Structure formats: structure tokens, C-alpha cells
């Protein structure tokens, strides 16, 4: 008998709360007919919205709390005051074994801090890693880290490669994802010491990864590799720049298409193609926190119902994958490679 999947959801996070999170979960429930849902938050706000979605109501349980994490709270404050909040309780349900995954569109720093405290890190990871799905000409490229870890040494970058490769296979269904390190050039001599050292480790052939070497920023839109690895400082700047550029292009196009009656007529005739173009500019607004002892997915703070639906569906698929076992296998290879490297360094004659 197949076990019923349970998804634990912070209904109060983000800019909109239940008016968007409830219909988002309802849309996901239509695609997940066997799943159940734990809805954490203010019952007085969730209940009326849930009445509009009887299909979801039949498979959902509201777990009331009037506490929530504000979008501008610092991670330390979220940790100190967050116990009993909708975000904390959603994650706690995963730790207790009541749920298979947690989803929130709330404060990113707070979500990371609470997830790390409640679930702890798996293997030898230090902090969760934030991953993004980057749109390109041929599909989506997994990019990590995009903001969780500002300073990264070579070992951390290799960990990201291992996590990203397993994530891309689990979520995007690619049997053997290709992996690259983001650098300022493709030549081996380019880049800072950490990225060159990570390149040497990944090129050693000791990992079950299809590693393709260095890639540059423009390779993301070409989908040159399935997984692109960088530190959180670089990744976050890249992500915010891309988001801003996408919004500018969308606004400029809208302005051009409403500049005259003829342009507006052309826009009406091309509406289907324009909607497809808009979708390509908007990557999935959901990002899992990798490296935890449990599945936590972060939805965009401004997520509307459709965006939140996508986050719930991502969490469902992620929770059913072999992600954790794949990570553990390659992390053991990393530990062995690092130990061998240190041993050879000690044995070198002075």
C-alpha cells in the first residue's frame, strides 16, 4: 500500500498570506490527489479562504497559531522569537515525522536559520545552500548557491556541485546532469584560488559526476551545463541582476505594445506568443534549501497562487526522490579525495 504524502505549509509567509497561499495549495492539491496538507497559521484568516476550496478542505488540517515571522526580521530575531510561529511549526512537523516536506514564502534568513536549528544539517554540511532554476534557450539550469553562503572555499564549492547534481536529477528528471563551475573564463589558469582548487578536485575523476569544467555567465542562458556552481555572493548578484533585467524587458515590451492603436492590435493578435515569452522570462519562483535533514522549499516572497502551487509541487517531487542517498554517496567520495590530497601533501619532500 502506497504511503500518503503529507506536506506541511506556512500559510502566513510572504507578501500576501492566505489569499494567495490557500488557492496555491488548492491548485497543487488537484495535481496531488493522494496528498494531505498541514496548514499552519491563523485559523481566522485561513478558514474563510479554505471554504472556497472544498477539495482541499477535505484533505487539509489547519494548525492554528497567531504567531508569524515578519519579512524584515533578522535571522537572530527569528530564532529567538520564532518558536510557535507558522514557519517554525511547519518545519517542526517535518522533524517530528508528521510531514514529508515544508514550504514557506516567508523571510529567507529566518527560514534558513530555523530550518538549520530544527532539522540540523546532514552529513558534514555547515549551512543550507539556496538553489535557483535559471531559464535558458533549452530549458532550466540549476544554479547554486544564490545567497546562503557568501564566502566559499574549494570544499564547499565541491559540496554544491554534489548537491546540485542530485537536485537536478531529482527535480528535473535528467538521468545524468552535466556540471560546471562558474568562472571569469574557461581556461584552467583563470579565477581565484578557491575556484581553481575546486576545479582540480572535480576533475580528478573520483566522483560520479559528469563534470565539464569552467563555464561563464553567458553559458547559463545557453544551458551549456545542467548545473552551474558558484559562491553565494556571486550567485545572488547574478540572480538579482537577471530578475531586474527580466522585469525591465517585460515593462519595455509592454510599453512598446501599448504605444499606439496599431501596436495594441498587433499585441492582441500575438497574445499567445507574448504569454509564452513572459513565461520564459519568469523562472520558477521556488528554491529548496539543500543540505538539511529534511525537505524545505522556499517560495518567492511575492508569490501569487500559481507560484506557490509550483513550490508545493516541487516539494512533493523532491520529497519522493533519492536525493539524500545520492548526496551521502558522493560526500563519502569527497571525504576520501580530501584525505588523499592531504596525505600526498604531507608526503611531499621539503
Which residues does residue 215 pair with via DSSP β-bridges, in sequence order?
Answer: 182
What is the pLDDT, as a whole number, of residue 6?
97
Per-residue pLDDT of the chain (350 residues; tens, 9 = 90+): 457 899 999 999 888 999 999 999 999 999 999 999 999 999 999 999 999 999 999 999 999 999 999 888 888 888 888 899 999 999 999 999 999 999 999 988 899 899 999 998 876 667 778 888 888 888 889 999 888 788 889 988 998 998 888 888 877 888 899 999 999 987 777 888 899 999 998 988 777 789 999 999 989 889 999 999 999 899 888 888 887 877 787 788 788 778 888 877 776 777 776 666 666 666 667 788 888 888 999 998 888 898 899 999 989 988 887 666 666 666 666 666 666 655 655 555 54
pLDDT score of 1: 45
- Cell numbers at residue 135, please? 531559464
- Measured distance CA(123)–CA(162) in Å, rounded: 12
Give the Cα separation of 309 and 313 in Å (integer).
6
C-beta separation of 36 from 59 below 8 A:
yes
Q: Among candidates 344, 304, 319, 350, which has minimal Cα distance to 20? A: 304
Find cell 528528471 and name the residue: 173
> Residue 66 is placed in which grid cell?
497567531
Helix (H, G, I), strand (E, B) or coil at 328: helix
- 227 close to 250: Cβ distance less than 8 angstroms: no
Q: Cα torsion at 309, 315, 318, 323 (round to 10°)?
A: 150
Phi, psi dihedral angles at 230 (to 5 degrees): -155, 175
Domains of the chain: 1-120+292-319 (3.40.718.10), 126-286+322-350 (3.40.718.10)
Q: Hey, is 230 helix, strand or coil?
A: coil
Asked whether 102 and 295 are in contact (CB, 8 A), the reply is: yes
The C-alpha cell that represents 257 in the structure block: 505594445
CB–CB of 7/38 below 8 Å?
yes
Q: For cell 504511503, name the residue.
A: 3
Q: Give the per-residue pLDDT at 321.
A: 75
**In the chain, what is the straight-line distance between the N-terminal and C-terminal CA atoms, in Å?**
64
The whole-number pLDDT of residue 155 equals 87
Amino acid at each position: 500500500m502506497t504511503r500518503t504524502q503529507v506536506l506541511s505549509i506556512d500559510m502566513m509567509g510572504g507578501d500576501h498570506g492566505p489569499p494567495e497561499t490557500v488557492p496555491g495549495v488548492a491548485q497543487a492539491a488537484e495535481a496531488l490527489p493522494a496528498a494531505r496538507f498541514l496548514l499552519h497559521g491563523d485559523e481566522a484568516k485561513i478558514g474563510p479562504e479554505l471554504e472556497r476550496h472544498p477539495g482541499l478542505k477535505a484533505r487539509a488540517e489547519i494548525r492554528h497559531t497567531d504567531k508569524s515571522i515578519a519579512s524584515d526580521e533578522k535571522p537572530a530575531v527569528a530564532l529567538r522569537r520564532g518558536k510557535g510561529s507558522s514557519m517554525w511549526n511547519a518545519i517542526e512537523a517535518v522533524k517530528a515525522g508528521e510531514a514529508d516536506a515544508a514550504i514557506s514564502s516567508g523571510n529567507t534568513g529566518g527560514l534558513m536559520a530555523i530550518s538549520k536549528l530544527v532539522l540540523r544539517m546532514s552529513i558534514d554540511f555547515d549551512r543550507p545552500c539556496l538553489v535557483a532554476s535559471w531559464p535558458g534557450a533549452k530549458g532550466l539550469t540549476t544554479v547554486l548557491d544564490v545567497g546562503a553562503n557568501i564566502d566559499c572555499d574549494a570544499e564547499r564549492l565541491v559540496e554544491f556541485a554534489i548537491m546540485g547534481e542530485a537536485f537536478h536529477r531529482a527535480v528535473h528528471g535528467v538521468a545524468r546532469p552535466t556540471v560546471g563551475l562558474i568562472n571569469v573564463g574557461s581556461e584552467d589558469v583563470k579565477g581565484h584560488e578557491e575556484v581553481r582548487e575546486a576545479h582540480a578536485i572535480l576533475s580528478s575523476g573520483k566522483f560520479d559526476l559528469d563534470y565539464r569544467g569552467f563555464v561563464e555567465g553567458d553559458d547559463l542562458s545557453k544551458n551549456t551545463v545542467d548545473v552551474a556552481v558558484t559562491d553565494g555572493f556571486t550567485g545572488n548578484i547574478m540572480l538579482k541582476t537577471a530578475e531586474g533585467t527580466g522585469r525591465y524587458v517585460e515593462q519595455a515590451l509592454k510599453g512598446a505594445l501599448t504605444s499606439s492603436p496599431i501596436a495594441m492590435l498587433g499585441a492582441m493578435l500575438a497574445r499567445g506568443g507574448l504569454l509564452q515569452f513572459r513565461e520564459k522570462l519568469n523562472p520558477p519562483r521556488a528554491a529548496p534549501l539543500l543540505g538539511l535533514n529534511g525537505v524545505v522549499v522556499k517560495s518567492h516572497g511575492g508569490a501569487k497562487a500559481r507560484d506557490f502551487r509550483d513550490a508545493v509541487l516541487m516539494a512533493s517531487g523532491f520529497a519522493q526522490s533519492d536525493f539524500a542517498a545520492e548526496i551521502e554517496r558522493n560526500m563519502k567520495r569527497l571525504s576520501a579525495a580530501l584525505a588523499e590530497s592531504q596525505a600526498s601533501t604531507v608526503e611531499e619532500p621539503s
